[in-house]
Amino acid sequence: MTMNDSVNILNSAYLAVEYIDSFLPDNPLQQPFKNAWNYMLDNYTKFQIATWGSLIVHEVSYFLLCVPGFVFQFIPYMRKYKIQQDKPETWEKQWKCFKTLLFNHFFIQLPLICGTYYFTEYFNIPYEWEEMPRWYVLVAQCFGCAVIEDAWHYFLHRLLHHKRIYKYIHKVHHEFVSPFGMQAEYAHPLETLILGAGFFIGIVVFCNHVVLLWAWVICRLMETIDVHSGYDVPLNPLHLVPFYAGARFHDFHHMNFIGNYASTFTWWDRIFGTDSQFIAYQEKEKKKQFITKK
């Protein structure tokens, strides 16, 4: 396929989505969001928006997204959806995780966030409401960022499992054999930098407005907290995403310390066969359930 053919296909897809969007009802939240965005631009500097705004978006999103999984441990009905039912959460582990998170967020991630303003200035990334991309463009950009981050995560995560370096860096993240949502960013500072670098590659490629920074932060946190939640809840809307890995996929990695290295999608593990043990495990579990029902 030539470059012109690819461009024509993308243009056709864009026009088709625009046509469909024209029939959708107006979003009732758009005007309040526009007012809030313009108020922010009128009252804060770009540096404050890029730095402290990004920090607030990260912290609020992270801990709000952790709330459902945290609450599940107190609801007896939800216990049947816990993947490793013999390993319940403990206050001791959750408190230890929380303290490490605060250190990583404010002493590792905050210095990186401080570079956001200079990134937007260097690449002339706009902040204005009028230049904000449409919702479907933003969704496509976030998906593109996820594809790029997933590739980076697969190969670097797999490297961190190499026997010569595993105990020095990645072992910290595997202290919890049965993961829970808040543990998603519980890691050695070097791992935060190494695997976190994949988050920024998509931004460099796709970013055409500061809102993408925040949208991608929320999408990435939603995914990583979900796969670390320890619960496989039915009707999870993230399962509608093509090739989405999910909690069972990543929970198996924490149980066995091997395989299922990708962060979001299943294709890299499928291509390199690093999901073979997981597939065998699933087949075994299906047989057990079939025998139990009989």
Q: What's the pLDDT at 277?
A: 94
Summarised one tens digit per residue, pLDDT across range 8-53 is 544 555 556 665 666 667 778 789 999 999 999 999 999 999 999 9
- At 206, the pLDDT band (50, 70, 90 cuts) reads very high
Summarised one tens digit per residue, pLDDT across range 275-286 is 999 999 888 877
AA letter at 285: E
Summarised one tens digit per residue, pLDDT across range 209-245 is 999 999 999 999 999 999 999 999 998 999 999 999 9
In which residue are the tokens 């039915």 written? 234
Summarised one tens digit per residue, pLDDT across range 74-104 is 999 999 999 999 898 899 999 999 999 999 9
- At 6, the pLDDT band (50, 70, 90 cuts) reads very low
- 2 pLDDT more than 80: no
Q: What's the pLDDT at 285?
A: 77
Q: What's the pLDDT at 8?
A: 54
Q: What's the pLDDT at 10?
A: 47
Summarised one tens digit per residue, pLDDT across range 147-204 is 999 999 999 999 999 999 999 999 999 999 999 999 999 999 999 999 999 999 999 9
Q: What's the pLDDT at 19?
A: 56
Q: What's the pLDDT at 204?
A: 94
